[in-house]
Amino acid sequence: MGKEGFRRDEIGGKTLGLVGIGNIGKEVAKRATALGMTVLAYDPYVKEAEYVKLVSLDELLAQADYISLHLPKTKESANMIDKAQFEKMKTGVRLINCARGGIVNEDALYEALSSGKVAGAAIDVYAVEPPTEWKLAKLDNVVCSPHIGAQTKEAQGRVAAEVADILIEFAKK
C-alpha cells in the first residue's frame, strides 16, 4: 500500500461533541481546544464550563464531527445513543465511548458503522463485559481495547497515594 492508503482527516478545525462534561470531559475539552477543535458539550447537570459551548443533545449530534462520551451509565443514559440518535448525526461522524458499556446501543452502532453513517468508532467498554458478541470488533472501522485507563504507573501511584491519605485521615479519628 502506498502512502495514499494512510491518508486521514485532521482534527484541527473540526467539531468535537462531548456528552458529559465532568472531570474527564473538561480535560478532553481543554486538549481538543489546544488542537484547534471547536468543542460542544451536552450535560444536563452543568450550567457552564470552560473551553466548550453548552448545547442540547440534538444540536451536538447534528454538528459534531467527533462525539466522545464521558458520563455514567444510569437509567437516563442507558441506550442513550440509539438508532434515532445516529440518524441525527452527520454522515461520517466518529464515535468514542470510553465511558460505560450500555450507553450506546451496540446493534444500532453496528448498523451505523456498516452503512457508513458512522465512519469509525473507538470503544473500550461494552454492554456485556467481557464481551460475548464480537461483531463490532470484526469491522475494519472500529478500534476496540480493554478499559484500562488507570493502568499506567502514574495512575497507580496516584491511587496508592490517595488510599494512603484516606487511611491516615481515618487513623487520626
> Catalytic residue positions?
100, 129, 147
Q: Which three cell numbers stand for residue 80?
A: 442513550
| Secondary structure of residue 44 in the 3-state scheme | coil
Q: At a CB cut-off of 8 Å and minimum separation 6, what does 84 contact?
A: none
CB 61 within 8 A of CB 87: no
What ranges make up the beta strands (E) of 44-144? Answer: 53-54, 66-69, 93-97, 118-123, 142-144
Which one-letter DSSP state was computed for residue 90?
P
Query: How large is the C-alpha radius of gyration of the chain?
Result: 18
